[in-house]
Amino acid sequence: MAGILKILLIEDDEDDYEITREILGEIPGQSFDLEWKEDYDSGYVRLESGEIDICFVDYRIAGRTGLEFIRMARDEGHLTPLVLLTGVGQHDIDVAATGAGASDYLDKSELSARVLERTIRYAIAHSEAITALAEKSELLSMTLENAGAGIAALDMNGVCVAVNSRFYGMLDSISGLSPEDAARCPDATAMLIDQIAGQIDSAESESVEVAGAEGAIFEITRNKTPHHGAVFISMDVTQQRVMQQALYRAKQDAEAASLAKSSFFANVSHELRTPLHGIIGFSDLIIGNPAAQATSDYASHINESGKSLLSIINTVISFSRIESGQQSFSDERVLDLDVFIADVLKTLQANAHQARVRLEVDVDHRIAGLITDPMALRTIVLSLVDNAIRFSEADGVVCIRVDVSHADEAVRLSVIDTGIGIPHDKQRLVFDPFYQVDADLSRSYEGIGLGLPLVKLLVEAQGGEVNLTSEKDVGTNISILIPECRTVYTNSSGKNTAIAS
C-alpha cells in the first residue's frame, strides 16, 4: 500500500468511529484518510463516487444490514473492497458476508492495529484480484462475441460454461429456440448441444454440417480440451456452399461446352473437308488438261482457294484436338535436321519468292538431329516460317537457326525475321487463341489467330518451351527450347550420338 488510503466507515455509533480512527493511527508506515457516514444512504452515495479505496460497513445500520449494503453494491458492479463489521463474531454471518460479496469479515471486539492492517491489506489485494479477474472475464466475453463464429465451451461434466450470441443464433436457426429462450433455459441449450455431439459421433469425425432455417447451412466443429471438456465452433457456410455449387455448375457447363466444341469441330471438319477434297481433286484434273487454258487458270484459283481453306480447317481441328488432350505424340523418331529443314524450305519457297523474302539456314554442325514427332515439329516450323514470311516486307530475310543454348544446354530452334515486329504491349497476348495483333477487319495480313497458340501447345506437349523477342519495325525472334535429351549430336568420328530420352 502506498500513498494515503481513503477509508469510508459506515457506522451509526460515534464511539466505534473514534476507536477505529485511533487504531488506524497506530498502524506504522501508512497514512489513512478516514471518512465517517452515520447512515446507510449517505454512505452508499459516497461509495458510488468511486473515490474510496476501502469501505467498512457495520452489520446493523438503523434497521438495515450491512449484508444488504454489500449485496446491492456488488449487484450494481462496484468493486471497491467491502469489509463487514460485527459486534459479536458469528460463523453464519461470516458465511453470509462472503456470499454477499464481502472482501472480509471483522469482529469489532478483536480490533487491533495488527488485525486492522492485515484486514485492509488483504481486502485491497482481494479486490485487485477480483478486478483483474473481471477485466479478463470482460475481455473473454468481448472476444467471444467478436470471434466471427459461434462458440460454446463445455466443462468435463458437459455443462455449458461459456457461449456467445452467434452460437445462440445458430441454435435458433436449427431449432427455433430464440437466443433469449436459450439463455433462460440452459437445459434446452444442453439438449441441443448433446444432439449435435451425437451427430458428430455418428459421423466419425469432429465436424458436421447441419441445416438451419431459410436454407442456412452451418458447419459445426468439436475440439476436445485437455481436461475432457469440449469447445463447439459453428460457422455459417451458406454463401460458401452456394459459391461452391455455382463453381461446380460452371465447371460442368465449361466441360459440356468444350465437349460440344470438340464435337462440332469433328463434325464440321468431315462436312467441310469432303467437298473440299472434291473441289481440289477436280480442279487438279482441269489444270492437267492443256485443252482449255482459260478454264485451267480458273481452276488454279479454285485449287489454291480450296487448299487455303483446307489448311485453315486442319489448323482449327489440330488446335482443338491438342487442347482437349486427344492428340497423341507417340510417333517419335530421330529426325535428320538437314533433310527436315530442306523439306520445309521446299514447301515454303514459292511463298517466299512471291513475297520477295530471302530464306536462310544456320545450323550448328554439332547437331545432327532431333528425337521428336515429325508431324508435330513440321507443323511448328512451317507455322513459324510461314508467319515470318507473311509479316516481312519485300527484300526481308527469314532465318532458321539451330544452336545450343548456353544456359541449360538445350537445343534452340529459332525463326528470325526482319519483319514488322510486334508492339511490346501485345507480345504477351500473341499466344492466346484467336488473338490478332491487327484486329481491324481491314487488316493487311491474313490469319485466324491460331498459328502461335498451336505452336505453343505442340512445343509444351513435348516438354519444350517457346520464347519470343520482338521490336516493332525491326523484326521478331521466336525460339523453341528443346530438351537436351531429345538431341542427336555428331561426334568426332563423324557418327551420330543420341542422348537417351
- Quick one: 286 and 202 in the same domain? no
Read off the pLDDT band of 206 (50, 70, 90).
confident
- Quick one: 152 and 179 in the same domain? yes
Q: What digits encode the pLDDT tens for the residues 477-487? A: 999 888 888 88
First to last CA, the chain: 85
**Percentage of residues in the chain having pLDDT higher than 70:** 80
The mean pLDDT value for 131-148 works out to 82
The mean pLDDT value for 217-243 works out to 89
Residue 57 forms beta bridges with which residues? 10, 84
| CATH number of the domain where residue 216 is located | 3.30.450.20
Q: Note the pLDDT of residue 435.
A: 57
Residue 241 lies inside a defined structural domain of this protein: no
Cβ contacts of residue 317 below 8 Å, gap of 6+?
265, 266, 269
Quote the CA–CA distance of 145 and 154 in Å, as a whole number: 17
The mean pLDDT value for 394-420 works out to 87
Q: Note the pLDDT of residue 476.
A: 93
- Quick one: 152 and 125 in the same domain? no
- Quick one: 306 and 265 in the same domain? yes
- Quick one: 307 and 456 in the same domain? no
- What sign for the dihedral angle of Cα 125, 127, 132, 137? positive
Q: Note the pLDDT of residue 200.
A: 85
Residue 261 has pLDDT above 80, yes or no: no
The mean pLDDT value for 244-250 works out to 90
The mean pLDDT value for 73-95 works out to 85
The mean pLDDT value for 262-286 works out to 68
3-class state of residue 221 by DSSP: strand
Domain enclosing residue 39, as ranges? 4-142
The mean pLDDT value for 472-494 works out to 80
Residue where a domain stops, chosen among 236, 261, 291: 236
Domain count, the chain: 4
Read off the pLDDT band of 308 (50, 70, 90).
low
Residue where a domain stops, chosen among 184, 216, 236: 236
Residue 328 lies inside a defined structural domain of this protein: no
Q: Note the pLDDT of residue 498.
A: 41
- Quote the cell numbers at residue 169: 443464433
Query: What DSSP state is assigned to residue 81?
Result: -
Residue 496 has pLDDT above 50, yes or no: no
Q: Note the pLDDT of residue 128.
A: 83
Query: Which is more confidently placed, 183 or 472?
Result: 472
- Quick one: 80 and 11 in the same domain? yes
Instruction: Determine the distance from the C-alpha atom of residue 494 to the mean position of all C-alpha atoms in its chain, rounded to a whole number.
Output: 58
Side chain identity at residue 113, one-letter code: A
Edge-to-edge strands of the sheet including 496-498? 333-336, 367-372, 487-490, 496-498
Q: Which residue has the cell 532431333?
A: 370
The mean pLDDT value for 239-261 works out to 82
- Quick one: 375 and 469 in the same domain? yes
- Quote the cell numbers at residue 208: 458436421
**Percentage of residues in the chain having pLDDT higher than 90:** 15
Quote the CA–CA distance of 406 and 412 in Å, as a whole number: 10
Residue 258 has pLDDT above 70, yes or no: no
- Quick one: 340 and 415 in the same domain? yes
Query: Are 113 and 27 in contact, with CB atoms under 8 Å apart?
Result: yes
Residue 12 has pLDDT above 50, yes or no: yes
Read off the pLDDT band of 495 (50, 70, 90).
very low
Q: Which among 123, 50, 49, 139 has a CA at the least distance from the CA of 85?
A: 123
Query: Which is more confidently placed, 121 or 263?
Result: 121
Side chain identity at residue 195, one-letter code: Q
Residue 446 has pLDDT above 60, yes or no: no
Q: What digits encode the pLDDT tens for the residues 318-365? A: 666 666 565 555 567 788 888 888 888 888 888 899 999 999 999 888
Residue 184 has pLDDT above 90, yes or no: no
Residue where a domain stops, chosen among 303, 323, 343: 323
Query: Which is more confidently placed, 3 or 8?
Result: 8
Query: Which is more confidently placed, 36 or 280?
Result: 36
Q: Rounded to 5 degrees, what angle do the CA atoms 28, 30, 35 make?
A: 120
- Quick one: 135 and 160 in the same domain? no
Half-sphere exposure of 245 (CA within 13 A, CB side): 6
Q: Note the pLDDT of residue 360.
A: 93
Mean pLDDT of the chain: 81
Quote the CA–CA distance of 474 and 418 in Å, as a whole number: 6
Read off the pLDDT band of 469 (50, 70, 90).
very high
- Quick one: 53 and 152 in the same domain? no
Measured torsion, CA atoms of residues 146, 150, 155, 158, in degrees rounded to the nearest 10:
160
Quote the CA–CA distance of 414 and 412 in Å, as a whole number: 6
